[in-house]
Structure formats: structure tokens, C-alpha cells
């Protein structure tokens, strides 16, 4: 009797598993990619995450999913409405708006970073399973004091299957161990027209060299795919992590004409249990500017020396300089400062370099001395349309709903130069003899 | 040109070499040049001396006790009575995890902190290779001695060669007198396949009833209940502590704070400073923002230098009334000072605010 009951329960569970995904799909509204519907997020706003909004019409579709969840920054409940979804083999983009019960906390006053931080998280599953995401990028802008328009990009480990069902989960309830609610949409890609130029390469690469003095490391990785899409250009890598530092690549990127392709994001996630006896394949990615017309890409490994020099600024740039200003670095690369903007919320430096974070900028006075009393929080981002790296210093903060400036006008008036330093110029040397060529055509 | 520029920047940042240092260097170099060659020792005598030194070092390492392995600030300023407070042979009740055995070897409780050495041994020496929770399988097994995680035989290689499981063993959390407390690690040593931790826990009252929740897990297996364990022991307070208080409340106008509590406690092991402060009612918005960011205080010595902290980690604890509490430990003091100098600063920008000197009155005189 007991056996029969158990068997019946198992069969019922199996039947449910077979029926549930189609049932989920049958009930879910369909988002037809390439439907030509307008994207409200882009009305009157220029996104720094999108290369050219005109490229989205073939890959985006309209939807209208709404739910409520607790706000992740403690402003009570927030109502979310997903307005559009766009999809490429590399990126899932979700355009949504968030309406807060009370004005959300703006950590850095009216700086764009505040809206990025206030944008509610999205918890999404794919066909009832984990969405294979590597990284995510976000931006937002306000409408009034309680509404934020948000864009969140998820970079994908693998393209989503056709007719994929995406489920948006509201808050996770730790008492019931379930999400309080879930809304699904089915993605119809049949009418989509994707402008992404993608190369599925699967090129295995082995490198062995002394990246740091006295430390020879064997690197093994596969260039899985190179793509040039509306949300940026990406190399998808699978790095064989054998522990120690074999899971972390350091390299410059060039095109076939030896032009540097600036890297704005390099993901190097390693596995804590990896060892030579238990290597683990890790999905990682490199996001970069340019190279759309290249016939091949070149990966140039970097050798890192022990730090032997003080990291003092090597250049003092007057704020009224005739930008852009290009500063050559001792390792053969260069750094171009395109401009400096000082605003109510802080300052922003637009620049290009071989790799983001290679440059460090600090406010200075007319004598080229660092203004140590000027307290700010650093933030880094990028602007895809202008292919520019952004380094920001944010001095605003929030207190009782009011933005508070951490610096006085008097202190600000002394900010007349920009002190530029770089670890790269003395400590990171390219090793061209180990260069790896990745053919694209 | 660039080298000269860098030199100029270096000089600007670090200043000229002090003359005293230059003179000492020159003196040392000329003495070295004049020194006559030493008379060679006989080989057998040299070998005996080396052996004696090695045996002595090994014996010293084996004998490291709780006071030898405290953080630098505490260890270097211990009062002679401290050694009398140390207890060994402590009665303890344990439910051991399947893969490791935990034993408290030495402990001392001064009324503020319970310090103890905890030895972890493999459950089965032939089947288990112990690791601390911060190390990975690719790390060199002797990383702690060599300081290099990349060079030498890794945990994974050593375990494979011996057919052992890699097991991370640690104190997961701890309760003192039924309350969860943060464990602080002063020291970790690998010793003949064992791990020897020196830990401390905040405690109050005449008796500290300590329960350690233990974890020893095979890093490649899903954790189950057999990986968990517990160890319970009780320590009595040593009656050697003294305490003094400053007169409060006291406004700190530059920081926009009100100091509401300032207590100094002395034991032969450490001196403890407890401060409580709140945002002043008339504080400016920027002062409120600074308070949110985190305002810290340093205890300055007679020369105005910051006293070295004995804590590996420090935190500002928010209290229910909106104020915060900051407790720090420092090296032991023989006498209770008559006054204390505090300097308040912003934790991130390092901007300095009020520096105050307060008389402190011993508890028995209040």
C-alpha cells in the first residue's frame, strides 16, 4: 500500500513537471522581438549603455508586466513595470520603470550613480531554471521625485533558446522560502532581426610566461565567441582555472592595424576550489570599444613587475587645458583625457586608455599639489556612444531627503588642476612576442 | 628627465634622509670594513650549536601559549601578573565534528575579553589534511611559514599524495553567556598537521560560559550535520581588573557629536576603552552625513601619538537610541591614567575633528 502511494506521488510529481513548463508558457504573455514598438525609456534620454538606439528596433519588444516588491534601499514598497525587453545572443536588456511610495534615497544627490543604485534589482529565471548570467550593468534616470526609469543589462553565458519563458520574481520571502509572486513572459524571436555581428570561434589558447617576477603561470583558455552588438563588443572566454593566479588574465587588446581597443570591463571570476588537480572552467568576458571593421584581434599579454616606484602623479593637467590631451606612458601605451566636467554632484573625467582603471585622477591646485581635503567617493563607468571611459568623483550625499555637498565653494575654487597617475606605465609591460591573434574573417 | 622628476616627487613625498640615519649608516659601514675576520669555530662545535638552536626553537614553537600569540600591541605590553591568570587543563564538553577534534588548551578571562588557544587535530591523521578557512586547495601548504601562497607543494598535491581529504576547520560562531559574540582571531599556526588558533571573545560578568559552534568540512562535499560540532567551557574572571569613567555628557562641536560615555578598564593583559556618542541635536547636515559615514576615535599617548590597537577588527556598533558604541583594546597599563586624550576623525576621509583631554576617575573614588 505504502509503495503504491509513493509511486502515485512520484508519478503525479513527474506529470506536474511535464505539464508545468508548457502551462507556464501557455499562460505567459508573448513579447515579440522586432515588433517596432517605441521604447519609452529612450524618449528624450540618451543611454550610455547603448551604442545606437536605432539598432534596437529589430531586437526589442513591448510588454506590460507590473508587480510590487520591497524596495532594496529601504524606501518601502516599489511598483515595477517592465515596458520593453531586448535580446541578443550576448545580452538580455530589460527596460522598466520603478515607482516608489516615498522618494528613494539618493546616495550621491542628483548624480546618475544615485539612480543606478536606486534602480530595484530584478530576479529573473529562465524556463523555471537559473538564468545563465555572467554580469550585469544598470543605469537609471528620474521623472519627478518618486519615479525612476531603469535599464538593466544581463550578459549571457549562452544565447536564450527560442520561445524562452522569462519569469520575474518579486521579493524572496525568507519565512515561506518562496518568492511572493512571479510573472512570466514568453520571448518570441521569430520576427527578430539582430544587428549583432557574432563570430563563434572556439579557439583554444595556451600561454606560459612569468607574469610576475619569479612566478611562471600556465594559462589555458578558449575564445568562445567575439561579438559586436548594440550593447557593446565582447569576447566571451572560458578560462581553465587551475588555482593560484591561472584564472586571471592580464592583456591588452589590439586590432589588425595595431590600434588599441580600450577595454572597459574585464571579468575575471575565479573558483576558490580550483587547483592544478581540480581545474574548473570559468565563463568570463572582456568588453571593449572598437574593432568592428577588424579582420582579426590581437591579445597582448601583460607582464607585471613588482611595484618599485611610488604611485605619485606623473602629470598635472590644468583644468582649462585644450582637451583632448594625450599623455604617453612609459610602457608604450597612452592615455587621452578628453575632458573634465565639474558639476553640483561631483566631477567627471572622460578619457580613453588601454584598460579602464589603468589611470588614476585626483583633484589638484594651481601648484599641482593634491587637494587632500576634498573628500569624494570614486566611481567608474563608461559611455558606449562616445567610446569613452568615465572616472567620477562624487561628493554629494543624502540626509533627510536633501542632497548635502561635502565640499565648500571655497574648497572647490582651488580645484584647478587634475593630477594624473598610472600604475600601468612602469609596472605593466606588454609582451608582444606572446601575442595571440584571433581571426574574425 | 623622468627619473629626475620621479626623484623630486619621491623627495617631496618622503623628505630628505635624516642626518642621524646617514651617520649611523656610515659608521656601521666603516666598522664593517675594519672588522677583522672572526676566528672560525670548530665544525663539531658549530654543528652542536646549530642543533641546540634548532631544538630550542622547535621546543619554543611547540610551547606557544595564549599570551605568546596575542596581537602585537597586547603581547608586547603584558604585565607580569598576566601569566598567573592563564588557565590550562580546562574542563570542556565537546560534540566533535566527524573529521576534526577541537580542544581548548589555554585560556584567560580578564572581565572584558576571554582569550584562548584552540587546537584542531585531524579526526584521522591518515585521511584528513586540515586547512584554515581562508586558504584554498591551490595554495602552498606552508604558506603561513613562507608567506608565499604560490611556491611549494599545494594543499591539493599534499592531500592527493597522501590520499587525504582536504578539510577546512574553524569556529563558525560563538555564544558567551547565551549571547552571540563576534570571534576575533589573534593568531593561526600550522603545527604538525594540527591548526592552532588564538581567539578572543567579548565577555562580561564574573563567569564567561562559552559555547563554540564548530565546523570541519570536506571542501569538495556538500556540508551535512556531521560537519558541525560544539565545544563548551567556562572561565572565571580574574579579579585583577580596574575601571574608571570620565564625566559625561560632553559636546564635541567640531564633529557635531555628544560624548555620552567614556570608560577605561585595565587588566594585566590589555587596557580597554569604551566610548558612546550620538549626533548632537543641533548638528549641521554635513555633520550628520559624517556621522552616517562613521566617526572614529583614537586614544593618544603623552606625546600625542595614536596608541597601537590590539584589535584585528574594529566596528562601530549602533545602539537602539541612535547613538553608537566604539570599544577598542590597547596594550596593558600599569597605572590607571589620570586623564585620557581622544581624537575624533572621519573613517574614510581621515578629516580630524575634536581632540579632547578628559580627567578619568577610578570607580572606587566615584
Give the C-alpha separation, A357 to A349, whole Å: 12
Statement: residue A198 has pLDDT above 90: yes
Determine whether the interchain pair A310/B9 forms a contact, defined as Cβ–Cβ distance below 8 Å. yes
Nearest-5° Cα angle at A361, A359 to A367: 130
Determine whether the interchain pair B154/A276 forms a contact, defined as Cβ–Cβ distance below 8 Å. yes
Task: Answer yes or no: are the C-beta atoms of B180 and B207 closer than 8 Å.
Answer: no
Cβ-based interface (< 8 Å): residues of A facing B: 215, 242-245, 272-278, 309-310, 312-314, 330, 373, 375, 397-400, 402, 404-406
Measured between CA atoms, how close is B17 to chain A, in angstroms?
Answer: 16
Phi/psi for B43 (5° steps) reads -55, -45
Question: Which residues are B184's β-sheet partners?
Answer: B200
From the list B116, B131, B308, B287, the residue with the least C-alpha distance to B212 is B116
Residue showing cell 582637451: A323
Give the nearest chain B residue to A313 (CA atoms). Answer: B9
pLDDT of residue B80: 93
Delimit the domains of chain B by residue range. 66-236, 242-365
Task: Identify the three-state secondary structure at position B56.
Answer: helix
pLDDT of residue A296: 97
Query: Do strands A396-399 and A402-405 pair parallel, antiparallel, or not at all (unpaired)?
Result: antiparallel
C-alpha cell at A432: 608582444
| Whether B134 contacts chain A with CB within 8 A | no
Give the nearest chain B residue to A242 (CA atoms). Answer: B138
The residue ranges of DSSP E strands in chain B, in sequence order, are 87-88, 93-95, 100-109, 113-122, 128-131, 165-176, 179-181, 184-191, 194-202, 207-218, 228-236, 242-246, 250-252, 257-266, 270-279, 295-300, 316-318, 324-331, 339-346, 352-362
Give the C-alpha separation, B49 to B336, whole Å: 45
Level-2 CATH architecture, domain B66-236: Sandwich (2.60)
Task: Answer yes or no: are the C-beta atoms of A30 and A191 closer than 8 Å.
Answer: no
pLDDT of residue A107: 86
Task: Please report which residue ranges of A244-336 form alpha helices under DSSP H.
Answer: none
pLDDT of residue A185: 97
From the list B260, B327, B335, B325, the residue with the least C-alpha distance to B302 is B335
Determine whether the interchain pair B286/A406 forms a contact, defined as Cβ–Cβ distance below 8 Å. yes
- Fold agreement (B66-236, B242-365): yes
Chain A residues touching B146 at Cβ < 8 A = none
pLDDT of residue A75: 57
Determine whether the interchain pair B154/A275 forms a contact, defined as Cβ–Cβ distance below 8 Å. yes
Give the model confidence (pLDDT) of A135-177 as tens digits: 999 999 999 999 999 999 999 999 999 999 999 998 766 666 6
Question: In this complex, how many residue pairs, one in chain A and one in chain B, have their CB atoms less than 8 Å apart?
Answer: 78
C-alpha cell at B84: 598567573
pLDDT of residue A308: 57
| Whether B223 contacts chain A with CB within 8 A | no
Measured between CA atoms, how close is A27 to chain B, in angstroms?
Answer: 37
pLDDT of residue A92: 98
Domains within chain A, CATH numbers bracketed? 20-188 (2.60.40), 197-307+430-439 (2.60.40), 315-422 (no CATH)
Closest CB to B150 among A215, A312, A400? A215
pLDDT of residue A425: 81
Q: Which of A212, A215, A242, A244 to mutate to test the interface with B (most CBs of B within 10 A)?
A: A244
pLDDT of residue B36: 36
Query: Do strands B179-181 and B165-176 pair parallel, antiparallel, or not at all (unpaired)?
Result: antiparallel
Nearest-5° Cα angle at A184, A179 to A189: 145
Give the C-alpha separation, A91 to A85, whole Å: 11
Closest CB to B156 among A276, A309, A405? A276
Report the phi/psi class of residue B112: left, alpha or beta, with left for phi > 0 and alpha for psi in -120 to 50. Answer: alpha
As a whole number of Å, the end-to-end CA separation of chain B is: 67
Statement: residue A307 has pLDDT above 90: no
**What string of pLDDT tens digits covers the 366 residues of chain B?**
333 333 333 333 333 333 333 333 333 333 333 333 333 444 454 555 444 444 444 444 455 799 999 999 999 999 999 999 999 999 999 999 999 999 999 999 999 999 999 999 999 999 999 999 999 999 999 998 888 888 889 999 999 999 999 999 999 999 999 999 999 999 999 999 999 999 999 999 999 999 999 999 999 998 899 999 999 999 999 877 789 999 999 999 999 999 999 999 999 999 999 999 999 999 999 999 999 999 999 999 999 999 999 887 788 999 999 999 999 999 999 999 999 999 999 998 889 999 999 999 998 777
Statement: residue A14 has pLDDT above 50: no
Phi/psi for B23 (5° steps) reads -60, -45
pLDDT of residue A206: 96
Chain B residues touching A396 at Cβ < 8 A = none
Give the C-alpha separation, B132 to B199, whole Å: 14
Determine whether the interchain pair B154/A312 forms a contact, defined as Cβ–Cβ distance below 8 Å. no
Give the C-alpha separation, A383 to A52, whole Å: 12
| Whether B317 contacts chain A with CB within 8 A | no
What residues contact residue B179 under an 8 Å CB cut-off, 6+ apart?
Answer: none
Quickly name the fold that domain B242-365 has. Answer: Immunoglobulin-like (2.60.40)
Give the model confidence (pLDDT) of A324-333 as tens digits: 999 998 888 9
Task: Answer yes or no: are the C-beta atoms of B184 and B329 closer than 8 Å.
Answer: no
> At A57, is the pLDDT very low, low, confident or very high (cuts 50, 70, 90)?
very high
Give the model confidence (pLDDT) of A256-279 as tens digits: 999 999 999 999 999 999 999 999
| Whether B351 contacts chain A with CB within 8 A | yes
pLDDT of residue B120: 98
Measured between CA atoms, how close is A81 to chain B, in angstroms?
Answer: 33
| Whether B158 contacts chain A with CB within 8 A | no
pLDDT of residue A173: 65
Query: Do strands B128-131 and B165-176 pair parallel, antiparallel, or not at all (unpaired)?
Result: parallel
Task: For chain A, give the percent of residues with pLDDT over 70.
Answer: 90
Closest CB to B285 among A272, A313, A402? A402
Give the model confidence (pLDDT) of A82-110 as tens digits: 999 999 999 999 999 999 998 888 889 88
C-alpha cell at B363: 570607580
DSSP state of A321: S
DSSP for A208-251, written as a single string: EEEEETTEEEEEEEEEEEEEEETTEEEEEEEEEE-STTTT---E
* CA distance readout (Å), A46 to A49, A51, A151, A384, B8: 9, 10, 12, 11, 45
Measured between CA atoms, how close is A46 to chain B, in angstroms?
Answer: 32
Task: Identify the three-state secondary structure at position A428.
Answer: strand
Give the C-alpha separation, A341 to A319, whole Å: 9
Chain A residues touching B10 at Cβ < 8 A = 310, 312
Determine whether the interchain pair B6/A312 forms a contact, defined as Cβ–Cβ distance below 8 Å. yes
Task: Answer yes or no: are the C-beta atoms of A280 and A373 closer than 8 Å.
Answer: no
Give the C-alpha separation, B109 to B116, whole Å: 9
Amino acid at each position: 500500500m505504502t509503495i503504491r502511494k509513493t509511486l502515485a506521488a512520484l508519478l503525479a510529481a513527474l506529470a506536474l513537471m511535464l505539464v508545468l513548463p508548457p502551462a507556464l508558457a501557455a499562460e505567459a504573455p508573448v513579447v515579440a522581438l522586432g515588433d517596432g514598438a517605441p521604447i519609452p525609456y529612450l524618449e528624450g534620454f540618451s543611454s550610455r549603455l547603448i551604442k545606437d538606439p536605432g539598432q534596437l528596433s529589430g531586437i526589442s519588444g513591448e510588454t506590460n508586466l507590473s508587480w510590487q516588491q520591497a524596495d532594496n534601499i529601504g524606501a518601502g514598497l516599489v511598483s515595477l513595470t517592465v515596458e520593453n525587453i531586448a535580446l541578443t545572443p550576448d545580452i538580455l536588456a530589460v527596460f522598466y520603470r520603478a515607482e516608489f511610495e516615498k522618494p528613494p534615497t539618493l546616495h550621491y544627490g542628483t548624480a546618475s550613480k544615485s539612480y543606478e543604485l536606486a534602480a530595484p534589482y530584478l530576479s529573473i529565471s529562465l524556463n523555471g531554471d537559473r538564468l545563465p548570467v555572467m554580469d550585469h550593468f544598470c543605469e537609471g534616470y528620474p521623472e519627478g521625485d518618486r519615479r525612476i526609469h531603469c535599464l538593466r543589462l544581463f550578459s549571457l553565458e549562452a544565447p536564450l533558446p527560442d520561445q524562452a519563458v522569462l519569469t520575474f520574481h518579486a521579493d524572496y520571502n525568507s519565512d515561506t522560502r518562496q518568492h511572493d509572486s512571479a510573472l512570466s513572459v514568453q520571448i518570441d524571436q521569430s520576427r527578430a532581426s539582430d544587428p549583432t555581428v557574432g563570430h563563434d570561434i572556439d579557439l583554444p589558447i595556451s600561454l606560459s610566461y612569468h607574469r610576475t617576477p619569479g612566478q611562471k603561470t600556465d594559462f589555458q583558455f578558449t575564445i568562445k565567441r567575439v561579438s559586436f552588438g548594440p550593447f557593446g563588443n565582447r569576447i566571451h572566454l572560458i578560462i581553465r582555472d587551475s588555482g593560484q593566479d591561472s584564472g586571471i588574465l592580464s592583456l591588452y587588446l589590439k586590432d589588425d592595424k595595431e590600434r588599441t581597443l580600450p577595454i572597459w570591463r574585464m571579468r575575471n571570476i575565479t573558483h576558490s576550489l580550483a587547483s592544478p588537480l581540480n581545474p574548473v572552467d570559468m565563463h568570463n568576458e572582456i568588453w571593449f570599444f572598437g574593432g568592428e571593421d577588424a579582420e582579426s584581434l590581437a591579445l597582448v599579454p601583460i607582464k607585471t613587475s613588482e611595484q618599485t616606484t611610488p604611485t605619485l602623479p606623473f602629470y598635472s593637467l590644468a583644468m582649462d587645458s585644450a582637451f583632448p590631451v594625450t599623455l604617453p606612458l612609459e610602457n608604450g601605451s597612452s592615455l587621452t583625457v578628453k575632458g573634465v566636467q565639474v558639476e553640483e554632484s561631483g566631477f567627471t573625467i572622460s578619457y580613453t586608455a588601454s584598460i579602464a582603471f589603468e589611470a588614476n585622477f585626483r583633484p589638484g591646485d594651481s601648484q599641482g599639489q593634491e587637494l587632500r581635503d576634498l573628500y569624494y567617493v570614486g566611481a567608474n563607468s563608461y559611455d558606449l556612444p562616445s567610446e569613452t571611459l568615465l572616472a567620477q568623483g562624487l561628493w554629494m550625499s543624502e540626509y533627510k531627503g536633501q542632497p548635502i555637498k561635502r565640499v565648500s565653494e571655497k574648497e572647490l575654487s582651488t580645484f584647478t588642476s587634475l593630477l594624473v597617475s598610472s600604475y600601468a606605465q612602469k609596472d605593466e609591460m606588454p609582451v608582444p612576442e606572446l601575442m595571440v591573434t584571433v581571426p574574425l574573417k | 628627465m623622468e627619473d629626475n622628476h620621479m626623484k623630486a616627487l619621491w623627495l617631496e613625498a618622503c623628505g630628505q634622509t635624516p642626518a642621524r640615519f646617514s651617520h649611523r649608516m656610515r659608521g656601521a659601514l666603516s666598522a664593517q670594513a675594519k672588522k677583522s675576520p672572526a676566528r672560525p669555530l670548530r665544525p663539531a662545535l658549530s654543528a652542536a650549536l646549530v642543533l641546540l638552536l634548532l631544538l630550542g626553537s622547535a621546543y619554543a614553537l611547540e610551547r606557544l601559549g595564549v599570551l605568546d600569540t596575542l596581537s602585537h600591541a597586547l603581547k608586547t605590553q603584558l604585565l607580569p601578573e598576566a601569566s598567573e591568570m592563564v588557565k590550562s587543563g580546562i574542563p570542556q564538553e565537546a560534540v566533535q565534528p566527524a573529521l576534526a577534534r577541537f580542544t581548548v588548551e589555554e585560556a584567560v578571562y580578564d572581565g572584558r575579553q576571554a582569550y584562548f588557544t584552540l587546537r584542531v587535530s585531524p579526526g584521522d591523521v591518515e585521511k584528513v589534511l586540515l586547512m584554515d578557512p581562508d586558504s584554498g586547495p591551490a595554495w602552498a601548504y606552508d604558506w603561513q611559514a613562507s608567506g608565499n601562497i604560490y611556491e611549494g607543494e599545494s594543499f591539493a598535491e599534499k592531500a592527493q599524495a597522501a590520499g587525504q581529504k582536504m578539510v577546512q576547520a574553524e569556529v563558525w560562531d560563538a555564544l558567551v553567556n547565551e549571547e552571540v559574540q563576534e570571534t576575533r582571531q589573534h593568531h593561526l599556526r600550522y603545527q604538525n598537521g594540527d591548526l592552532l588558533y588564538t581567539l578572543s571573545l567579548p565577555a562580561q560578568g564574573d563567569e564567561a560560559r562559552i559555547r563554540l559552534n564548530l565546523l570541519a568540512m570536506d571542501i569538495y562535499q556538500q556540508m551535512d550535520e556531521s560537519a558541525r560540532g560544539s565545544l563548551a567551557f567556562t572561565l572565571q574572571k580574574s579579579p585583577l581588573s580596574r575601571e574608571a569613567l570620565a564625566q559625561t555628557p560632553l559636546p564635541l562641536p567640531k564633529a557635531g557629536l555628544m560624548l555620552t560615555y567614556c570608560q577605561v578598564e585595565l587588566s594585566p593583559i590589555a587596557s580597554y576603552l569604551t566610548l558612546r556618542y550620538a549626533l548632537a541635536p543641533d548638528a549641521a547636515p554635513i555633520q550628520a552625513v559624517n556621522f552616517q559615514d562613521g566617526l572614529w576615535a583614537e586614544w593618544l599617548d603623552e606625546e600625542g601619538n595614536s596608541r597601537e590597537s590590539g584589535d584585528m577588527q574594529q566596528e562601530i556598533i549602533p545602539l537602539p537610541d541612535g547613538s553608537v558604541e566604539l570599544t577598542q583594546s590597547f596594550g596593558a597599563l600599569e597605572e590607571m591614567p589620570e586623564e585620557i586624550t581622544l581624537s575624533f576623525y572621519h573613517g574614510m576621509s581621515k578629516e580630524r575633528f575634536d581632540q579632547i583631554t578628559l580627567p578619568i576617575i577610578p570607580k572606587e573614588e566615584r
